[in-house]
Structures are given as C-alpha cells and as structure tokens.
Amino acid sequence: MVHWRQDSIPVILRRASKITDSASLQKQLPKLKATGVLLAGGKSSRMGKNKAFLELEGQPLAERSVQVLKEVFSEVLISSNTPELYTDFNVPVIQDRIPDRGPLEGLCQGLAAASFATVFFVACDMPFLQKELIRFQFSWTPRYDIVVPRLRTGLHPLHAFYNRRCLPHIKDNLEAGRLKIVDLYSVCSVGYVDDSDLAGFSDLEDVFCNVNTPEDWSGIFKR
C-alpha cells in the first residue's frame, strides 16, 4: 500500500537538504527577468489523485515548486483548469483556451500570458527542483528559442525554457493536431543541455525525476 504522506523519512530530508544547501546564497541573487510557469493541468489518471497535492515533508508538490519559482523568477504563473484549487497560492492561474490538448496548450497560454518573452515551464510532479540548475539553463536562453535538458535518461521538455518566438509555431501545431511538444523542436532553435554540461551539478537523477504512478511516488522514498 502506498502511503501518500511521509513527512519524516530521513532519506528525503537528507536529499532535500542537499538541494537547498545554497538557499541563503540564492536569496541574495536577483530574480531572473523571466516568467516561471508551473504546469498543473494534467489529469493525473495514472496516479489516481491530483499529483500537485501529494505531500512531501508536509508540503504539497505544487507549493514546493511555486516556492522555488518565486525565488528564481520575477513572475510566476500556474497553468491549471481548476483555478479554485490554487487560490491560496497567491499566484495568477491561467487556463487552457481549448481543453484536452495537453501540455502544448499550457505552453501556448503561458507564453501568451507571460510578462516576459523568456518563460520556464516545469511539470508539477518534479519534487526536487534545483534553483542553481534552472539559473544555469537560463544562461543559455539568449542563444536559443528553446533550452531543454537532454540527459542519458532522456529529454525533459517540461523542465525547459521557451521564448515567445515559439508561439506562432505552437499555434500552428495545435491547429494541425500535432500535440507533442518535441514536434516543435524541428522549427525552432534548440539548445540541448547535455549531461556533460551539467557535470558540476549533483543529484541530477533526483532533480529530473517525476512521479506519474503510485509506484513512482513510493519509489522516491527508497533511493
């Protein structure tokens, strides 16, 4: 049986403390002139309950992520079709214009609503975001329309920066029914951040893990 609330497991506390070791330094850094968008519009059908509100160390995943985004970005938005769930987050919530078009629709509405041309999109089911790594990815954005991690574990299009220049291509793909985010990459300039580029960062397996199933969720407590 999966226990949804596991607030006091030491291994999680150790991992979280490693990721937040430089929290005081991060607070001294200026916020990036960019927008951070938390994508929380998924149906969580494989999990069986809303992933955004799974609790880790007594805090919902969505709240943990928003806290990180607020420390990094000058503007933070949440993409969700259930805005009533996020009224206590004190963050604007944007909704899909047309439902059931997946995260590509979230990218479309997020880029349209953002105050900044450079926008970081991240899934709500990634428990261990690392502020330093996000800032490193941002440093690539002047050269590319998209900056996305491409690790040995795979591509991570929902831990990536997208420039507003992508918006016309996103709209074209949505209208054509091409809903995979990666289909966008052939018509935009893409900076792939590889393992070698991230050699100075630790805990990459944790940072880029996401939880789609109860097994995934229980597995993060066994690492």
- In a domain? residue 189: yes
Residue 19 has pLDDT above 60, yes or no: no
- In a domain? residue 204: yes
CA 64 to chain CA centroid, Å, is 11
- In a domain? residue 2: no
Q: What is the CATH number of the domain that holds 108?
A: 3.90.550.10
Domains of the chain: total = 1
What one-letter code names the amino acid at 210? N
> What's the pLDDT tens digit per position in 163-180?
999 999 999 999 999 999
> What's the pLDDT tens digit per position in 168-223?
999 999 999 999 999 999 999 999 999 999 999 988 988 998 887 777 666 665 55
> What's the pLDDT tens digit per position in 25-55?
555 899 999 999 999 976 555 555 678 988 8
- In a domain? residue 5: no
Tell me what pLDDT residue 41 has.
75
- In a domain? residue 4: no
- In a domain? residue 3: no
Tell me what pLDDT residue 128 has.
92
- Domain carrying residue 155: 10-219
- In a domain? residue 104: yes
- In a domain? residue 25: yes
**Residue 48 — φ and ψ, nearest 5°?**
90, -5
pTM for this prediction:
0.85
